[in-house]
Amino acid sequence: MAEASDRRGAQLPAEAALFQLLFGYSRTQLIYVMAKLGLADLLRAGPVDSGTLARATACHQPTLHRLLRGLTNLGLLEEDAEGRFALTPLGTCLRSDVPSSLRGWALLSGDLLYRAWGDLLHSVQTGQTAFDHTYGMGLYEYLAAHPEHGEHFHRSMTVSTLRAAQALLKAYDFSSVETVVDVGGGHGVLLAAILRAHAHLRGVLFDVPSVVGAARHYLEAQGVAHRCPVIGGDFFTAVPSGGDTYLLSWVLLDWDDRRGLRILRNCRAVLPEHGRLLLFEAILSERTTPGDRVVGRDLSMLVMTGGRERTAADYRALLGQAGLGIRRILPTDVNRSVIEAAPTS
């Protein structure tokens, strides 16, 4: 009989392992409620009893105590001999004041994403995006109309991008680049990291006006605003000219092939013959093995945006249709690769 391990490393029979997987929704909600109530921030100074936490969060004390025990069971908290609760290293990740905080992802996962995943069956049966079916609009349209969720999303993406930026800089040599145009660059976190690492570079940040409007303050704080104009627009219509290097980081995965090709063709239209296009994306394996995070993210794209992860062959075919060819693919320390492409026609 097949076996699996629990979080303590003990081997479980297949039935027990599957049973744990079936109740994954309960773990998501426990973590979400912890984040929503701000418990990690309330516990940052040390152990606190459930009564004090209940008063601070306006919760029903006996029920909150049960929640705290559940979080202890998950390994996010620990309970001392006096019945007080304290953060573990795992729970500390939900503090809002730590640089790599996952509180934003917890808030999104237990609310916005949770509801959309409930319509996964709709996506599988129809090929349509579950999020659109659940909320009656696309993800980015929804985030623009609901600033609270939008703020959680952009904060969460900032955390992920800061981690990926160092991996990109380690893997790719920008020394021969003059101007990087970051297409769909969000708040400019990745581009700012590149500019800070290479004083000779000039950058251009390009995204929809509602997103890049918040980028100027970040670029100023990073000391690179004087080398990085910010342009608002729609990459389905056109992208700014003037760069010798165009960067698409975690952009194509949000879109199906038809819309992804439109973005690539718009980049190709302004790319000089000596220029290059950099895709900073995950690469889907041709064959799936258990625990492949890219497969999980591919399904997330199905549910949330209608996009997809792609194999190296998929990228080669899509780029070819846009008049671009792959020069090389560079792995990085994170679960993404740098795909360098150049004009072929």
pLDDT digits (tens, 9 = 90+) for 294-313: 999 999 999 999 999 999 99
Neighbour count for residue 277 (Cβ, 10 Å): 25
Please give the class, per CATH, of domain 3-99.
mainly alpha
Domain pair 3-99 / 163-286+305-343, same fold: no
CB burial readout 190-217, b (16+ within 10 A) else e: bbbbbbeebeebbbbbbbeeebbebbbe
Q: Can you give the pLDDT at residue 3?
A: 44
Residue 163 confidence (pLDDT): 83
Residue 59 DSSP SS3: coil
> What are the boundaries of each domain within the chain?
3-99, 163-286+305-343
Mean pLDDT is lowest, of 217-231, 239-253, 254-268, 281-295, for 281-295
Question: Can you name the CATH fold of 163-286+305-343?
Answer: Rossmann fold (3.40.50)
Confidence of residue 7 (pLDDT cuts 50, 70, 90): low
Q: Residue 11: what pLDDT?
A: 77
Strands ordered across the beta sheet of 179-183: 230-232, 202-207, 179-183, 245-249, 276-281, 337-343, 324-331
Q: pLDDT-based confidence at 148, cuts 50/70/90?
A: confident
Q: In the structure encoding, which two tokens stand for residue 319, read together?
A: 């780029």
Q: pLDDT digit string (tens) for 216-250?
A: 999 999 999 999 999 999 999 999 999 999 999 99
163-222, pLDDT tens digit by residue?
Answer: 899 999 999 999 999 999 999 999 999 999 999 999 999 999 999 998 888 899 999 999
pLDDT digits (tens, 9 = 90+) for 86-123: 999 999 999 999 988 999 999 999 999 999 999 999 99
State residue 9's pLDDT score. Answer: 56
pLDDT given at position 138: 94
Q: Which of 248, 247, 245, 249 is nearest to 275 (CA)?
A: 245
pLDDT of residue 161: 87
- pLDDT at position 1: 33
Q: Is the pLDDT of residue 156 over 90?
A: no
CA nearest neighbour of 76 among 94, 57, 59 = 94
Per-residue pLDDT tens over the stretch 46-96: 999 999 999 999 999 999 999 999 999 999 999 999 999 999 999 999 999
